[in-house]
Amino acid sequence: MPSVVMITGASGNLGRALAAAFEANGGSVALVDRRRDRLEAAYGAEGDRLFLAADLTDPDAVEAAAQAAMDRHGQIDVLCNIAGGFRMGPPVHETPPADFDFMFGINTRTVVNTARAVVPRMLAAGRGKIVNVGAFGALKGAAHMGAYIASKSAVIRLTESMAAELRERNINVNCVLPTTLDTPENRAAMPEADPAKWVAPADLANVIVFLASDTARAIHGAAIPVTGLS
């Protein structure tokens, strides 16, 4: 199991599940979120973990976070890009440019910015694993979700492109495509739905940990659906 894992969007439900899964396998985690107080609320005292506050849409802030992880641990073995967001919207022809900018900012540019900061360090080390979080819904278009679907679809294509560029350099790049996660927030927002059909964050975390393991060393550029019973 890799020893140093950088997780973006780490204060959320999936971030906490993922940090716990990597730590259970002996990994050290560098946890990135927009504000440090969110990480403190999610995890309590920093302890052996590394808390990193960074606006992932700001390349300089991401570079500083990656350098801080290197300063502490000397390496970044795994990058898990789980930061992002969902928003319904108007029809595509009525969607304001700012809405497209927002969706592509949090879902797509965050991936590009972390890659720019972390991949050179992985290349220098001669190894690495990157796992991005796309969305199962991004496999086809749907009404009132154009900006979101486009931004998450771009994550899939970026994953494939990065895998083609890095597979010969001993860096695996893959992504997962979850459906609805079973979180308190989603239960509150959809009280009539059956959460038993959703994906538990711990289950999605296990898939990500697998992709970050040496067992998955032959997998490059995959977009793996994680759909539960939905």
Cβ-in-10-Å burial (0-12, 13-18, 19+) of 58 comes to middle
CA torsion angle 113 33 210 207 (round to 10): -110
- DSSP, collapsed to helix, strand or coil, labels residue 55 as coil
Q: Are 211 and 27 in contact (CB under 8 A)?
A: no
- Is 43 catalytic? The answer is no
List alpha helices for 76-128, DSSP H.
97-104, 110-125
Active-site residue identified among 148, 172, 177, 223: 148
Which residues are marked as active site? 148
